[in-house]
C-alpha cells in the first residue's frame, strides 16, 4: 500500500514543503537541476532513476511551480528551475554540507566557489574570501574529493566533472 503524499491534519509549513519535495528522488532531481541538468534523458541516465518515476516527479515539480518546461535547443522540452525552485538552493546546500560533515570520510562530492573571488562557499552559503552570502548564480561547482569515479561514467557525469556555474545548462552531446 502506497503512503499518501500529503500530511493531512498537519498545519505546518514543513509538512507542506515535504508534500512538494519529500518523495524519493525529488531532491536529487532538484540538485541535478541546480547543477545544470535539464533534459529528461540526462536526469534518467545520471540518477539511474526509472523513467516512469522520473516522469511522475518532473510532472509533480512542474505542477508545483518548482520546475518549468522550456523549449530546448533541439525543440524537445527541457526542465528549468523557476524562481521557486532556485529558492531551494539553501536547503540543498545545507543538506549537502550536513551529509559531508556526517557521512563523508574524504570531504564533499562537490566543491562550491564564489565566481567573483574564487572563495570557498561554506555550508551556510558564505564566501571564505569576501564573507558575503553568495547568490546561486555566482557559484561555481566542481568535483570534490569524495566524488567517486565511476568505472563507465555517463555523459552527465562527464559534463559535471568540468567546473561550471550553477544553473548553467550542461550539454552532454553536440548541439
Q: What is the pLDDT of residues 93-123, one digit of tens each?
A: 999 989 988 988 777 889 999 999 999 999 8
143-161: average pLDDT? 81
Identify the structural domains of the chain with CATH numbers, from first to last. 13-85 (1.10.10.10), 89-165 (no CATH)
Secondary structure in 3-state letters for the chain = CCCCCCCCCCCCHHHHHHHHHCCCCHHHHHHHHHHCCCCHHHHHHHHCCCHHHHHHHHHHHHHCCCEEEEECCCCCEEEEECHHHHCCHHHHHHHHHHHHHHHCCCCCCEEEEECCCCCEECCCCEECCCCCECCHHHEEEEECCCCCCCCCCCHHHHHHCCCEECCCCCCCCCC
| Whole-structure pTM value | 0.91
Q: Which residue has the higher pLDDT, 167 or 152?
A: 167
Amino acid at each position: 500500500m502506497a503512503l499518501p503524499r500529503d500530511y493531512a491534519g498537519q498545519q505546518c509549513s514543513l509538512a507542506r514543503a515535504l508534500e512538494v519535495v519529500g518523495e524519493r528522488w525529488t531532491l536529487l532531481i532538484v540538485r541535478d537541476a541546480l547543477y545544470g541538468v535539464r533534459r529528461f534523458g540526462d536526469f534518467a541516465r545520471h540518477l539511474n532513476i526509472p523513467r516512469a518515476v522520473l516522469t511522475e516527479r518532473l510532472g509533480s515539480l512542474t505542477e508545483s511551480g518548482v520546475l518549468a518546461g522550456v523549449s530546448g535547443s533541439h525543440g524537445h522540452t527541457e526542465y528549468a528551475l523557476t524562481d521557486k525552485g532556485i529558492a531551494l538552493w539553501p536547503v540543498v546546500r545545507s543538506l549537502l554540507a550536513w551529509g559531508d560533515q556526517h557521512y563523508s570520510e574524504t570531504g564533499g562530492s562537490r566543491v562550491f566557489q564564489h565566481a567573483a573571488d574564487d572563495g570557498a562557499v561554506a555550508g551556510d552559503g558564505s564566501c571564505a574570501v569576501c564573507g558575503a552570502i553568495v547568490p546561486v548564480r555566482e557559484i561555481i561547482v566542481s568535483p570534490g574529493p569524495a566524488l567517486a569515479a565511476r568505472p563507465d561514467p555517463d555523459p552527465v557525469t562527464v559534463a559535471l566533472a568540468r567546473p561550471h556555474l550553477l544553473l548553467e545548462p550542461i550539454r552532454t552531446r553536440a548541439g
